[in-house]
Structure 1
């Protein structure tokens, strides 16, 4: 697009402001005349009576057992109580109302809601009992969805983006919130894309539609961390924020992203990355539009941005803002943010959609602002709630935002949706559910204090609302419960990841220290001890001994001093295998663990003898496991030596495969023997020492097999795409030696898909291990995401 004005900013924002002002005046009149109170009281009484009647039969036969906390168990519990239909219909109806701007009184909408409900019920009923304890919203879950609908490459792309975004976002901002927002927006775009396309799509068309939805959702969702959150935070200086805002404004006015130019200071890399990603995102959205709908997208984007800017530039200490100053930007940004979703998918804005979506936005926004009020106050952010709290005593003219929320509720039910019973049920249910969640979030004392501040002007309505919210149960909504579970899973994963790196940071140097062989063991003129220590002193990951330590000590409660010989044994054996692997007769590698390979420093014959010496020293170490009974130690030695034999066979398979075109099955087999078996030994040996059962050991073996193949595929991808300096060894060796690998067999994209397939299989295997497997999950995720 040329550098021409494509959006008349003054006109589009003025028209939107005028419409928002008209809406505000309607709400203002209702509040001052209290005309909304009697109809709402009637609505609430009817709604409450209807729900009590609906569930009275079930309550006679249901136990008073506490509802499960996890999402999977909660849904199963609803099914057992006969409440699943009501829950799903309420939730799906709300999504059609909020995300798609649909009229719930329409026969077509009711049919679609019912079809979705039936589909969800079928999915829930097919879930196995064993699946209920599984983590629901993790990377494996996302990839499984993509597998089902054949858009795995897109999901891999998105997972990579999530990882990058999380690593770039500074500490002053919230990476977890950014991930959540991206996933939420992508879900909304997917819903709209699927709704627009309609039913009856072929698998190929469905796959393309979902690919587009994910990329569009990411493109739009990226604006939250890298425009809204970045400008709201204190990361950028005042001058930087002003310059950055002008770039965004110019983009929306002209339809083209201006060059960033030079950017100095500590935020240079962050701003460069954000500008680059936003540019690609903007171009993707713009190219998805038709010429006739492109302006609609740009206009909605401009209104949204300008409304955000007006709020962002407000000062909480300034007591002179009018009610219109406070509420009109809220109406605009809450409406345009939802209209943007429709604009970037269909680009069309039908009259009904515009009406429903425009008037609905502030309903959600006021609820969210109440939830975030205390954090907003702390940050000095101006919202209707923070400004009212700060200035209402000296400004009796200020409108109470909680009262306005109920005026909005009344207006939606009776003026926008024309008193439709289903819409009334859904909107009131959402309002009561919001208050119940608010009480749970703040605690009863703080919640009551909040209500005393904001509901004093509507005592009759508030008394009824509070009474109902105490009595009525089972008003949960699918999207909120999924959001809760997603937040819990993200936080849990973040905590586990932090503990994972702390554990490695703590254990790694201790293992390095224990591995060094004493010099007194060497004979005169004997370089083998020095050669062994040279190989051991490299910057190795110590993956196998770390896994053994964590499983032995934290998984099985063994003492670290008792399993130290096993830890040394595993690393000696592994290092010996690397020495053999690097020899001129095998891979002829020149670099290992960031330095020259052993045969280049000590010559080939010494390298061969050193590797043989280390295999024997490994067995000798295992004989020192004197804290365990002799039979168990013999079983450990038998298993480890047998595994070493099999690893040698795997290396022979690898050598014989040189110059041959291997099948995928052959490659999987070689990878298991070369790599997976090493992981298996590291897990199974501490399990054997702890007398673990056969089923548990079998699950560990299954995990190890898929872990090993995942690890090897990632190695092959790094061999093609990696940075030699970061990896610490030569890249392109397989191609140079004419070796088949996963990339040569499957191609880069196919190899990535296979890696994620095995990642999911490994994660599934961990569900069968009756231990705390958080370390193994994070280890697997770390190696999938590593760049060296």
Structure 2
């Protein structure tokens, strides 16, 4: 490594360390004389008038009907109904402007910006759809991206997040990793939007938002793939050192070194991470101006090295000084946010740098307090875990809870110059954090913690605990978002896992009943049709259509699984027949289907045609065997099935007739519905017919099926271009070879992906009209757009 470069970054780190040392010295002196106690007591005496009502009647009326904030929709409605929403959003957005954007609240421009954001946010939250579409699902996020013209960027981010999530080791929390990346993207976006506060063209805005999302993702990757990975103890000591050296070299030289020989069992994981981080590193570097690039690398090095200094500490070492405990905390907590402005090439802002530097440790101490017992269990050294371990032996150790209040006092009166708004918000946040901790840990453990960390100033301690018990209206929107995001990510994770597990179970059940018995004894026949049919049925099919029917029939309509087995078989017979016809030389002339030679390659064209016809009739036979249902209902089902088969034949004829022709998007949508959407519709409507569902519900299911079917077909078209033939079980590039018009040939890959996600959104929005548990249908949509076969 170049010694001059190493000398420069070490000098940069020492400079930052000296600054942190000076800040810590100021805080240490204030802790020693307990300067915070009298100052904050006066602040709280003024603050409490807005948060504590002394009348018992007022207290109970205020509490009556207040929903749990985790039920975010009802909570927002309650805030709006009680007239608290404006104050709630104002303090929440003001806090974000202070913490994330490094703003001072006394600025007239800042107050105007905050008011504007609050008005827009309130309008969204109180709209009929509320937060449902805007914040917590892919459809809502994609719709927001559409309005900004950054759909392609959103699709890129969704795919990257999916890829990264699939590689997170089981020892790490996938939902937390996703949340951190999303949070960093949001943070970079906020800074970029704030920098765009002026008149710019939509084209320029779109370009800058695109870059902000990609930069945010690239920077966000460092949290799960550097910080969390090294904390998780997944790598061996040798691997940790090798990996840390690799990161350090990249930050010092500005070039990611080759991975080289890897000494350990995690080579596959590290190879993937190396590839992703290298790509992210190169993108960040490409977006940096020459004059700010070194500043970015210096700040990144301070961030990484201060984390490393903390990470290698050993809780069994009882000799760390207060400076050794707190200075790295100051450095890593401030540099993580200081990086963002250099990330987006924002102009220098001394006020931002100053406020952000002092603010960082406040958030870090609050986070470490909330996580102290988890950190203690993991053997991590934080000011709290160290104090818990050694406070009886080391009288010199600073009580981190007292330092926390000292930081708050310093922020309010030194950094924000006793600004009333800043004081109000910071005290709100502090009390909110303690209330959330008490709720999470329980009153008994909370009390034990408070007794351990209580300030030696008894009157101040008593005041704080009174505020925690009695203060109200101190919640924050970003905490609500954080909680709901974690709930949703974990719920989606669980639903998708259950969905895939159930799919495999149902698929096995269907496979066990699918093959046709060779009952015929005619020696001349030797059952070639049945053999051919079973050959086609034994292929590695997804069985998606009968699985959809099983889910709706059994899970939603309560039908008996054995009663509807004939229907499940009929759907797969019909689908397999359509594939046999589709593969014929007169149509697509496909050589491979479901990973094996197509039927006409194994037998001949005549047998294939007859087998397809045989399976079509076999499907009707099975539907007529639904003996546990009223005959008139079964007749309705067969009539509906016959109509769907007619339409599918029309669709296939349209497909054949379209070869070599340039179709319009409208024509392609229509063709796609006939080829794919109809089969999806049948899979949902047939169990609805058996369950006597009303027409309104069936219409909603038809709308869902139409959009889901088109999304499915577009994904098929994309896989024919971008897929892996071995995974797909068939050759790629057949559409181009057969001169087919597809969404990709008409629109191109990028636009085809946009249209697929548009139909995904339409299908998701349609689910609101279905009076059932729609978890399966949501999971199905996610499976459709994310599948690789």
249-258 or 188-197, which moves further after superposition? 249-258
- 2: CA distance between counterparts of 1:748 and 1:318? 57
Shift of 1:7: 7.0
Q: Deviations over 1:389-438 (max 9, x none)?
A: 01111111111111110010000001111100000001001101111111
Alpha carbons of structure 1 residues 455 and 482: separation in structure 2 relative to 1, 3 Å: same
SS class of match (1:484):
helix
Task: Please state whether the residue corresponding to 1:245 is helix, strand or coil.
Answer: helix
Shift of residue 767, structure 1, vs aligned partner: 1.7
Could you tell me how far apart the structure 2 residues matched to 1:503 and 1:248 are? 42
**Matching residue of 1:214:** 213
1:629-668 pair list within 5 angstroms: 629-668=630-669
Residues 595-630 of structure 1 show CA distances to partners (whole Å, capped at 9, x for unaligned) of 011111111111111111111111111111111111
SS at 1:36 equivalent: helix
Structure 1 pair 328/710, CA: closer, same or farther in 2 (3 Å)? same
- Rate the CA distance shift 1:415–1:62 in 2: closer, same or farther, 3 A: closer
**2: distance between equivalents of 1:522 and 1:560?**
32
SS in 1 for 2:530: helix
Residue of structure 1 equivalent to 2:773: 772
1:533 to 1:4, Cα distance in 2 relative to 1, 3 A: farther
Structure 1, unmatched stretches of 5+, are none
Q: Measure the CA separation in 2 of the matches of 1:31 and 1:112.
A: 36
**Helix, strand or coil for the counterpart of 1:560?**
coil
**Greater mean deviation of Cα atoms: 761-770 or 331-340:** 761-770
Name the CA shift for 1:61/1:394 in 2 (closer, same or farther; >3 Å): closer
Tell me, yes or no, if structure 1 residue 413 matches structure 2 residue 418.
Answer: no
1:728: how far off? 0.6
Residue 65 of structure 1 aligns with which residue? Answer: 65
The offset of 1:64, in angstroms, is 1.4
CA contact (8 A) 1:522 1:528 kept: no
- Closer, same or farther: CA 783–433 of 1 in aligned 2, 3 Å: same
How far off its partner does 1:550 sit?
1.1
Give the TM-score taking structure 1 as reference length. 0.97
Kept in 1: contact 2:711–2:785 (CA 8 A): yes
Cα deviation, 1:219-253, whole Å, max 9, x if unaligned, reads: 11111111111111222111111111111111111
Aligned residue in 2 for 1:41: 41
User: CA contact under 8 A between 1:134 and 1:767: conserved in structure 2?
Assistant: no
Quote the offset at 1:654 in angstroms: 0.6
Deviations 1:510-539 (A, max 9, x none): 110100111114643231111111110000
Equivalent-residue separation in structure 1 for 2:702 and 2:56 (angstroms): 51
1:289–1:347 Cα contact (<8 Å) kept: no
Aligned to 2:235: 236
- The Cα RMSD (Å) is 2.0
Cα distance in 2 for residues equivalent to 1:370 and 1:193:
31
**Comparing 522-531 and 420-429, the one that deviates more:** 522-531
Pairwise CA distance, 1:556: 1.0
Q: Which residue of 2 aligns with 1:625?
A: 626
Cα distance in structure 1, aligned partners of 2:134 and 2:282: 36
Give the alignment of 1:103-502 within 5 angstroms: 103-125=104-126, 127-128=127-128, 136-502=135-501
Contact map agreement 2:125 2:131 (CA 8 A) in 1: no
Say whether the 8 Å CA contact 1:517–1:529 is kept in structure 2.
yes
Give the whole-Å Cα distance in 2 for the aligned partners of 1:785 and 1:531. Answer: 32
> 1:635, CA displacement in angstroms?
0.8
> TM-score scaled by structure 2?
0.97
Write out per-residue CA displacement over residues 338-379 of structure 1, whole angstroms, 9 at most, x where no aligned residue: 111122123544221111000000100011011111111111
Query: 1:444 Cα shift?
Result: 1.5
Quickly say closer, same or farther: Cα 1:740–1:320, change in 2 above 3 A: same
| Stretch of structure 1 that moved more, 194-203 or 404-413 | 194-203
Matched-pair contact (CA < 8 Å) for 2:239–2:264? no
* TM-aligned CA distance change 1:142 to 1:133, over 3 Å: closer
Task: Give 1:60 deviation, angstroms.
Answer: 9.8
1:457 to partner: Cα distance: 2.5
Query: Does structure 2 conserve the Cα–Cα contact (< 8 Å) formed by 1:684 and 1:697?
Result: yes
Q: CA deviation at 1:122?
A: 2.5
The residue number in structure 1 matching 2:517 is 518
> In 2, are the aligned partners of 1:3 and 1:256 still within 8 Å (CA)?
no
Q: Structure 1 residue 387: deviation in Å?
A: 0.8
Match of 2:782 in 1: 781
The number of residue pairs the alignment matches comes to 786
Shift of 1:323: 0.7
Q: Which region of structure 1 is more displaced relative to structure 2, 111-120 or 665-674?
A: 111-120
2:239 and 2:263 in contact (8 A); partners too: no
Asked whether the equivalents of residues 522 and 529 of structure 1 are also in contact (C-alpha less than 8 Å), the reply is no
Point out the more displaced range, 130-139 or 103-112: 130-139
Q: Secondary structure at the match of 2:261?
A: coil
Structure 1 residues 11, 264: CA separation in 2 closer, same or farther (over 3 Å shift)?
Answer: closer
Q: What are structure 2's unaligned runs of at least 5 residues? A: none
Q: 1:133, CA displacement in angstroms?
A: 6.1
